[in-house]
A and B are shown apart, each in its own frame.
Chain A
Amino acid sequence: MTEDDRFQRMIRSQKFLDRIPHMSALGVQLEDFDVGRVTVRLPYRADIVGNPDTGVLAGGAISALLDNACGSSVVARVAKPNAFATLDLRIDYMRPAEPGRDVLAFAECYKVTRLIAFVRGYAYHDDPAKPIANAAATFMFTGRGELPQAKAAP
């Protein structure tokens, strides 16, 4: 197996999230992975509740989940250990998460230029048509060299 293959395999596995301490602290799980598209799950837990009156998860935890999903979709698109930094992230909250329910986040890296990656995503419970939050993010590549495109899922 080449180093590229090993990297491809790693980013498609839970190991990729487990290497990120804040994601591992939140217990985030990889749900789905394809070229430029990632879905992750934040299991409901009482210790990340933001509103003690209602039991609703903190917006910050959902922001972190979306931020990570957006970054992961860039990795899923370029499929190389290419360093990049978040330039900006916008999140619109449409409705509160429901207490007791997991939150999923989908992100899609829909455009990559030499320096910038453009991403959109959303968070939901089980129906993407009923989003909890919407995200738009841009990332800047800080490494050098050509950007290879990801291989299609086997």
Chain B
Amino acid sequence: MSFRDTFERMKRTGDFSGLQEAVPYARFMGISIAEQEGRLVTAMAYAETLIGNTALPALHGGTIAALLELAALFQIAYEIDTPAMPKTITITIDYMRSGAARDTFARARATRIGRRVANVRAEAWQDDPDRPIAAANVNFLLA
């Protein structure tokens, strides 16, 4: 079964617990998905391996970029039905606050879904969804 099919089944059943089993990188990053009021929340469980600056300490900026990209990808794959997973064309990340050594969450919203391209806005936060630590614009090529 392709990952797209696996994801479709998770959508249908609302059970995303198989994500880490299906995607090695999701397991490596401690990434999980929860469904909340028709939207997905993607979480990155804190682990020492996500740290970029041990003095502060702060999460590595790259881990926040990865979380935002995955949150955007999952949201678009959740909203549309395509035979293959969308492909990232560009991602632009604005960093607003440093990420503390704790769990991080992200949610995304499609600003436009066209025939070939989808534009998605994603935000990451830790303690308060209204105080994002980073945000991203992601453009996907739809298969």
Residues on A lying within 8 angstroms of B by beta carbon are: 19-25, 46-53, 57-61, 63-68, 71, 85-93, 96
Residues on B lying within 8 angstroms of A by beta carbon are: 2-3, 22-25, 27-29, 48-54, 59-63, 65-67, 69-70, 85, 87-95, 98
4 smallest A-B Cβ distances: which pairs?
Answer: A64-B62, A60-B66, A58-B25, A25-B49
For B29, list chain A residues within 8 Å (CB). Answer: 60
For A25, list chain B residues within 8 Å (CB). Answer: 28, 49-50
- Establish whether residues B25 and A93, one from each chain, have CB atoms under 8 Å apart when the complex forms: no
- Establish whether residues A48 and B69, one from each chain, have CB atoms under 8 Å apart when the complex forms: no
Specify the chain A residue showing the minimal Cβ separation from B93. A89
- Establish whether residues A59 and B52, one from each chain, have CB atoms under 8 Å apart when the complex forms: no
- Establish whether residues B24 and A90, one from each chain, have CB atoms under 8 Å apart when the complex forms: no
- Establish whether residues B61 and A48, one from each chain, have CB atoms under 8 Å apart when the complex forms: no
For B28, list chain A residues within 8 Å (CB). Answer: 25, 47-48
- Establish whether residues A63 and B62, one from each chain, have CB atoms under 8 Å apart when the complex forms: yes
- Establish whether residues B50 and A21, one from each chain, have CB atoms under 8 Å apart when the complex forms: yes
Known: A49-B24, A50-B25. A67 touches B88 (CB 8 A): no
For B92, list chain A residues within 8 Å (CB). Answer: 88-91
For A21, list chain B residues within 8 Å (CB). Answer: 48-52, 54, 60
- Establish whether residues B88 and A86, one from each chain, have CB atoms under 8 Å apart when the complex forms: no
Of the candidates A19, A23, A61, A85, the one whose C-beta lies within 8 Å of that of B25 is A61
- Establish whether residues A90 and B50, one from each chain, have CB atoms under 8 Å apart when the complex forms: no
- Establish whether residues A22 and B98, one from each chain, have CB atoms under 8 Å apart when the complex forms: no
Known pairs A48-B28, A71-B61 / 7 extra A-B pairs, C-beta < 8 Å: A22-B60, A23-B52, A51-B85, A60-B70, A64-B62, A89-B92, A91-B92
- Establish whether residues A59 and B63, one from each chain, have CB atoms under 8 Å apart when the complex forms: no
Q: How far is the CB of A87 from chain B (nearest CB, A)?
A: 6
- Establish whether residues A52 and B63, one from each chain, have CB atoms under 8 Å apart when the complex forms: no
Give the complex CA separation of A60 and B54 in angstroms: 21
Of the candidates B61, B70, B87, the one whose C-beta lies within 8 Å of that of A86 is B61
- Establish whether residues B90 and A89, one from each chain, have CB atoms under 8 Å apart when the complex forms: no
- Establish whether residues B62 and A19, one from each chain, have CB atoms under 8 Å apart when the complex forms: no
Give the complex CA separation of A67 and B3 in angstroms: 27
For B90, list chain A residues within 8 Å (CB). Answer: 90-93
Specify the chain B residue showing the minimal Cβ separation from A66. B62
Q: How far is the CB of B51 from chain A (nearest CB, A)?
A: 4
Give the complex CA separation of A43 and B98 in angstroms: 27
Known: A60-B29, A64-B65, A88-B94. A19 touches B89 (CB 8 A): no
Give the complex CA separation of A24 and B52 in angstroms: 10
Q: How far is the CB of B135 from chain A (nearest CB, A)?
A: 10
- Establish whether residues A22 and B93, one from each chain, have CB atoms under 8 Å apart when the complex forms: no
For B85, list chain A residues within 8 Å (CB). Answer: 51
- Establish whether residues B60 and A52, one from each chain, have CB atoms under 8 Å apart when the complex forms: no
Q: How far is the CB of B20 from chain A (nearest CB, A)?
A: 11
